[in-house]
Each structure stands twice: as C-alpha cells, then as structure tokens.
C-alpha cells in the first residue's frame, strides 16, 4: 500500500516522521500547482494526505465526501476504495483532541479565529460543534480584519489558523494581544517553532496555550485509521508526541561565565547524539577574533549585536544542545528566541571556583561580585531547571538527561 503527503512546499514537514512512527512507510511528495491535475489523473498513491494549497482544489476529483469535509469544504485525507476516491477532513478531529488535551475551553466561549483558509474552516467547524457562544473570523482583508482587533479584545479564546510566525520566519508578530484581558486560552496551529510570538504573549498573560504539534499527530492518527480501515485508538498519540517534542527541543545551558556550560554541553550532545552549539564560539568564528579582542577593539555594544545575530540564527533550528554566553539570555529578545524551541537549564557553581581569566566583564573581584549578585536572580527567573555543576561534567550531563526523561 503506497501512502504519502502532497503539498507545494514540504521541506520542514513532520508528517513522514509521524507516520513512520505509527509503523508504516510514508512518502513526502512536493507538487507544483501546474502538476496537480496530472497527479490526480495518474494517482500513484493508494491513500494520501493533502496540505496547502490543495485541500480545496482536490474536491472536484472526490467521488464521496465525508459530512465534515463537505461542511468545511476542505479535504486533507483521500482514500481509494473500489475505484472511487473518498475524501475526509481529519483536521477537525486533531484540533478537537488538541484543544481538550491543552484544556483550552470552547463551550460557551467567545472564540476569535485568525485566518480564512481551510485550517480556519476546520477550526470554525470544531468551535460550532463544541458549542462556542460566538465565533469571529478575522482575516487581513475581510470584515473584520486585523485593523479591527481592538473591537474584539473581550474574546476569551484565540485560534491562529494562519502561517504567520512559522519557521523560518520565527518571531514574526501577527497581532498584539496585550489588551485581551479576558483570555482563557490561545491555540496556534503552528508547530515549528514550539512557542510562537502569539503563544509567548499568551504565556505572559497566564492563559492556557498550545501549539499545533499534537493536532498534527492526532489528525495523522485519524488518517491512519482511514488508510487501513481500523477503529481509532489514541493511545499511540501521546508517545509519538512525547518522542517528537523531545527530539525537536533545544537544551539551552545558561549561567555565569565559567560554570561549565560548554564542557557539560559537549557531554550532553554526545549522550543525546545531537549537534552542539556554543554561541561564544560562533561569534568568534564569525568575527575571526576572540571575545576579549572584540570587547577591546569594538566594545560591548558591538559584541551584543553579534550575539543577538548568532542567537537568532541558532535558536531557529531544533534538537540541539546550546551553550550561551553569560549575558545572552538576560536580554529579552535573546530569551524569547532561545525559549521558542528550548528548555533553559541554569548551571550553577560556587562563585569561588569561577575562573575570570579571558572574561571581559569579570576583570576583578569587585566586578565579579557585582555581576554575580545582579545576574543570579535573573537566571533563576527565566530557567526551567537549575542544576548545580559540582560533579564531573559527564555526571552533570547525565543528571540533566535523567531530569528531562522524567
């Protein structure tokens, strides 16, 4: 049985990984729009999934549409049966499961949906089915549009069904929800990065929030059932989600200079068999100079600009160990970038063991003590975990992996 996914641009798709985790072969096929009709005529797949921009374009080829696909007017799963094509929309099942899992309420809520495409239509269907009190669809050019955002600040739930902020345009802001003081939950269908700007805003407001990864996995699980005509069993979804989320997460080591971030990070990357990035080393490679030389010749402001550029670049990628310079995560822009795909682990070490040689901001004991007192509470505030690095580096790295596995 030949299975796969078609779409126009699929270089970052997780679908193959997900379906392979379910236990079968699955192919990714990028398809330009001028080749869509010939693909549907030749039909090399026995069953397949569909993503942008073909969810609506495929409908004329479908012999039997499910009720949900008909209402939503979008198909993301096609199965060939006895010479006929059956079209389904499993996004609605995936979104329903993801909202429930993340405890984002829909029944009785005022839901604001961003976007007007197929994903938005699936969200509208789910919200209507789940008993939302009111559903408002906001697009760039329609009515209402994003210029009218202030009129809907009493919305209690937001669902983003646009691609704004997805990789590689990480951090791009769709809207400012600072005035949405009644928010209970925000769901962003984007899953790369793990925390978009919209979700970061939701987190800051204390609202429930979730990205689209579990939705993606759950809708794939429902598609699997349609492929093989089997009853739905959601038990495998949590394991696939946990494995994929962990593999896509950056482990970011933060802390004072000379606390062992680089050494522990190298051990950690070997244990996990992932790439290791030291942001200070990346800065030195870019500039062709040591960090003390950069400070001496160009000053701290210039160094911080280089640092921001490097952090922006490396934090977009996923599944790495990243060791940061001491000051890097304390700037909000850097913190947001590191956090979008990362777990931040604060490495500590007794101050008397810190080496100050080659550290431009730690030139003497007084400067070090002042910086230590200033930074330690900030590290504690932004870290997900704090680990004392008083054991051999390999042992510290193993303790981190044990902690994360729990």
Residues with a catalytic annotation lie at 55
What is the rounded distance in angstroms from the CA atom of residue 83 to the CA atom of residue 64? 11
Q: What are phi and psi of 7, to 5 degrees?
A: -175, 170
What is the rounded distance in angstroms from the CA atom of residue 364 to the CA atom of residue 360? 10
Q: 341 by DSSP, 3-state: which?
A: coil
Kindly report the number of other CB atoms within 10 A of residue 364's CB atom: 9
Structure tokens belonging to residue 88: 């389904």
DSSP H or E segment with residue 277: strand 275-278
What is the rounded distance in angstroms from the CA atom of residue 136 to the CA atom of residue 143? 10
Q: What are phi and psi of 39, to 5 degrees?
A: -60, -45
208 CB-contact burial (10 Å; exposed 0-12 / middle 13-18 / buried 19+): middle
What is the rounded distance in angstroms from the CA atom of residue 354 to the CA atom of residue 261? 12
Kindly report the number of other CB atoms within 10 A of residue 380's CB atom: 11
Q: Which of 278, 273, 267 is nearest to 398 (CA)?
A: 267
147 pairs with which residues across the strands?
none
* Strand stretches in 34-109, DSSP E: 47-50, 64-65, 77-81, 84-88
393 CB-contact burial (10 Å; exposed 0-12 / middle 13-18 / buried 19+): middle
Q: Are strands 157-160 and 134-138 parallel, antiparallel or unpaired?
A: unpaired
What is the rounded distance in angstroms from the CA atom of residue 26 to the CA atom of residue 3? 5
Contacts for 339 with CB less than 8 Å, ≥ 6 apart: 195, 200, 252, 382
Report whether 350 contacts 388 (CB < 8 A).
no
Structure tokens belonging to residue 291: 């960090």
């Amino acid at each position: 049985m030949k299975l796969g996914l078609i779409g126009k641009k699929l270089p970052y798709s997780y679908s193959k990984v997900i379906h392979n985790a379910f236990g079968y072969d699955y192919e990714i096929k990028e398809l330009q729009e001028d080749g869509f009709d010939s693909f549907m005529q030749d039909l090399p797949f026995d069953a397949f999934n569909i993503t942008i921009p073909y969810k609506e374009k495929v409908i004329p080829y479908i012999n039997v549409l499910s009720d949900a696909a008909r209402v939503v007017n979008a198909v993301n799963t096609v199965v060939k049966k006895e010479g006929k094509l059956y079209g389904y929309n499993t996004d609605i099942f995936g979104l329903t499961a993801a909202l429930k899992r993340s405890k984002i309420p829909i029944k009785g809520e005022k839901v604001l949906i961003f976007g007007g495409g197929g994903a938005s239509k699936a969200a509208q269907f789910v919200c209507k089915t789940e008993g939302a009190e009111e559903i408002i669809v906001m697009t760039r050019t329609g009515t209402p549009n994003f210029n009218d955002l202030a009129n809907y600040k009493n919305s209690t739930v937001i669902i983003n069904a646009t691609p704004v902020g997805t990789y590689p345009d990480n951090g791009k802001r769709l809207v400012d929800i600072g005035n949405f003081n009644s928010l209970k939950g925000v769901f962003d269908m984007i899953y790369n990065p793990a925390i978009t700007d919209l979700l970061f805003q939701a987190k800051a407001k204390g609202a429930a929030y979730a990205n689209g990864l579990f939705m993606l996995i759950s809708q794939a699980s429902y598609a699997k059932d349609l492929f093989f005509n089997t009853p739905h069993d959601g038990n495998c979804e949590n394991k696939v989600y946990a494995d994929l989320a962990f593999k896509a997460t950056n482990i970011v080591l933060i802390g004072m200079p000379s606390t062992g971030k680089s050494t522990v990070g190298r051990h950690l990357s070997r244990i996990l068999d992932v790439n290791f990035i030291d942001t200070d080393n990346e800065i030195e490679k870019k500039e062709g100079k040591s960090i003390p030389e950069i400070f001496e010749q160009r000053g701290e402001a210039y160094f911080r600009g280089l640092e921001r550029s490097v952090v922006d670049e490396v934090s977009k990628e996923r599944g790495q160990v990243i060791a940061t310079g001491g000051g890097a995560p304390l700037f909000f822009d850097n913190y947001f970038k590191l956090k979008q795909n990362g777990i931040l682990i604060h490495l500590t070490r007794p101050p008397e063991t810190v080496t100050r040689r080659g550290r431009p901001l730690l030139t003497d004991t007084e400067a070090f003590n002042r910086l230590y007192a200033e930074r330690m509470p900030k590290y504690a505030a932004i870290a997900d975990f704090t680990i004392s690095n008083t054991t051999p580096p390999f042992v510290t790295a193993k303790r981190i992996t044990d902690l994360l596995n729990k």
